[in-house]
Chain A
């Protein structure tokens, strides 16, 4: 819908400017000056603002993240046929939005974090197109339990899990981010791209509309 509106605005701007070019005498009148102001300031500004919003929304899409080659194996890790893989488990069972799979768990990453995160996002673009892509990609900071708890907090399976109540302080430590959800022995199988890279396509899950489309 937003795209339709933006396209309409752009079409109107171009039409109005063509009209002013073909009949410049219009701009001499009061109404013509208002028309010119709309065509040269108001509508282009609206188009730029709406376009920025649209692109920002698009950058949340799984398709956007996976369009860069270094992300290829991360994308494949969503289709691993092994429920131990946390991202695969969430993605295949629709526990997260498939359209925004990456963004759901990495909400504070690059463009969506603070200013320094946004600058990092721009640096990623530079590295992607002009720089050298490192062999191993790492998060800038340890993964925060907050991203898990935005969905799992207050859930029965989380609050009632016997492993989360191993000691009196375990649950509190998880909620305070003092004990990572990804601690070795817990939910520690994440993207595991080295392992995923060795898998053949036939070993991946090929179910769901998303898999068929991509």
Chain B
């Protein structure tokens, strides 16, 4: 796997981990501030991470489907 793809996977995973942790913290109390932390922190980071992961998958498949050009 290319180094660049690997680092992107790591970044996606990091965003998701941060999103999940913020989501977990948002359940510690009841109130609009908890809801805002969930939406603005948990959901935002998670969606960015998931989006980045899907983008990597999409571009990885696109690179695979492109024919290799060989010079004779």
Contacts and interface: CB of A to CB of B under 8 A. Distances in A.
B66 to A, nearest CB: 20
A54 B23 CA distance: 11
A1 to B, nearest CB: 13
Interface string A8-38: 0010011001001100100110000000100
Interface string B27-47: 100111111101000110011
A125 B53 contact: no
B43 A48 contact: yes
Main secondary structure of the interface of B (DSSP, over half): helix
Contact of A55 (B35, B47, B54): B35
Contacts of B19: 44, 48
A20 B42 contact: no
A192 interface: no
A6 B54 contact: no
Contacts of A28: 1
A47 interface: yes
Contacts of B35: 55, 58-59, 125
Given A44-B49, A48-B46, A55 B13 contact: no
A21 B38 contact: no
A110 B46 CA distance: 26
B53 A41 contact: yes
Interface residues of A, number: 35
A34 to B, nearest CB: 13
A40 B32 contact: no
A55 B20 contact: no
Contacts of B13: 17, 20-21, 39-40
Contacts of A3: 27
A51 B38 contact: yes
Given A6-B27, A13-B16, A21-B13, A55 B50 contact: no
Contacts of A14: 17, 20-21
- Interface-central residue, A41, A44, A68, by most chain B CB under 10 Å: A44
Among all A-B residue pairs, the 5 with the closest Cβ atoms = A67-B31, A40-B53, A10-B20, A17-B13, A63-B30
Interface of A: 3, 6-7, 10, 13-14, 17, 20-21, 24, 27-28, 36, 39-41, 44-45, 47-48, 51-52, 54-55, 58-59, 61, 63-64, 67-68, 124-125, 128-129
Interface of B: 1, 6, 9-10, 12-13, 16-17, 19-21, 23-24, 26-27, 30-36, 38, 42-43, 46-47, 49-50, 53-54
